Amino acid sequence: MYRALVATSLLACGFLAAAPAAAETTPPRCIEITSLPVAPITTAGVYCLTKDLATAATSGTTIPIQANNVTIDCNDHKVGGTAAGPGTTAVGIGGSGANATVRNCNVRGFRMGILLLGEGGAVEDNRLDGNTWIGVYLIGDGGVVRGNRVFDTGGNTGEVPPVGIQTNGDIDVLGNTVANVMATAASGDPAYGIRTDYNDSGAIGDNHVRNILPDGANSATGIYNVNNGRISIYRNRVSNPGTAGYGLLCAFNGGPAIASDNHINGFSLTPDAMPFCFDGGNNVAR
């Protein structure tokens, strides 16, 4: 109580102030991207958007990364590809290179919203919606997918299972929201909220996953962990509208994937809704 009173007094006297909002990354602190698509980025540095941008390209990568240590900061502006239609094969932001970062981007209407290949990649604080196959796909050890909002993934005409977030390698997947992953009608495909592959020591925590909808008789999986090692799966909230499938699934793992403090609701294929995951305690499934 003493600390609270001191803090209140200091605020009243003007000695404490609210933390300022994060500043945008704008020129001259970055290289501005002014139109789409752009030529391949082959030099390390920070690249940014200062306005919404869009393209009708149906293939290729709209913002291609071909160098190490590249950051794309959209300052919450849009990278749009919806004009290409549901048959698009284009990628919004993607490429290869170590330590690539994509942040504060609103990526919509591509086959894959963000695709990064390289160690140390980071996909943070982005909004992805209306992408027709995968919202975020990060490949490479030492990466992180954190604080993203992934909505309305699916509807591609290539009939491939939709995935909100997919990773391959030792990658942490933390604090993301994934909602409305929908398999294409008449495809017979499953659907996945978050899928992790070949992750030997990462953490999958504090994610909210809901409304993962397969087509036909196939199944939904909220968080699917396959070919992994000793990963930790904790404090995830996974819910579905009574769909056949699994809340958490740990398949073909080389070591125990420990699940604890997870809430799972609306998956019906198994009583505990988290087959092959080691129960670390405090999991609730209904």
pLDDT of residue 187: 86
Q: Are 84 and 112 in contact (CB under 8 A)?
A: no
Averaged over 139-143, what is the pLDDT?
98
CB count in 10 Å sphere of residue 45: 11
CB count in 10 Å sphere of residue 18: 6
pLDDT band at residue 272 under the 50/70/90 scheme: low
Q: Which residues, including other chains, have CB under 8 Å from residue 170's CB and lie 6 or more apart?
A: 141, 142, 143, 199, 200, 201, 202
* Helix (H/G/I), strand (E/B), else coil: 250: strand
- Name the residue among 204, 202, 224, 203 with its Cα closest to residue 212: 224
Q: Which residue has the tokens 């504090």?
A: 206
pLDDT of residue 14: 41
* Ordered structural domains, the chain, with CATH: 26-285 (2.160.20.10)
Q: Which of 44-58, 102-116, 206-220 has the lowest mean pLDDT?
A: 206-220
Averaged over 244-266, what is the pLDDT?
88
Q: Which has more pLDDT, 73 or 184?
A: 73
Q: Which residue has the tokens 């670390």?
A: 280
Show the tokens assigned to 247: 């809340």
Q: What is the pLDDT of residues 216-242, one digit of tens each?
A: 888 899 999 999 999 999 999 999 987
Q: Are 82 and 55 in contact (CB under 8 A)?
A: no
Q: Taking CA 20 as the corner, what is the angle to CA 16 and CA 25, rounded to the nearest 5 degrees?
A: 160
Q: What is the pLDDT of residues 6-40, one digit of tens each?
A: 333 333 444 334 443 445 798 999 999 999 999 99
pLDDT of residue 110: 98
Q: Which residues, including other chains, have CB under 8 Å from residue 9's CB and lie 6 or more apart?
A: none
pLDDT of residue 19: 40
Write the single-letter amino acid at 124.
Answer: E
Average pLDDT, the chain: 89
Q: Which of 147-161, 180-194, 264-278 has the lowest mean pLDDT?
A: 264-278
pLDDT band at residue 185 under the 50/70/90 scheme: confident
Q: Which residues, including other chains, have CB under 8 Å from residue 208's CB and lie 6 or more apart?
A: 176, 177, 178, 179, 236, 237, 238
Q: Which of 58-67, 108-117, 275-284 has the lowest mean pLDDT?
A: 275-284
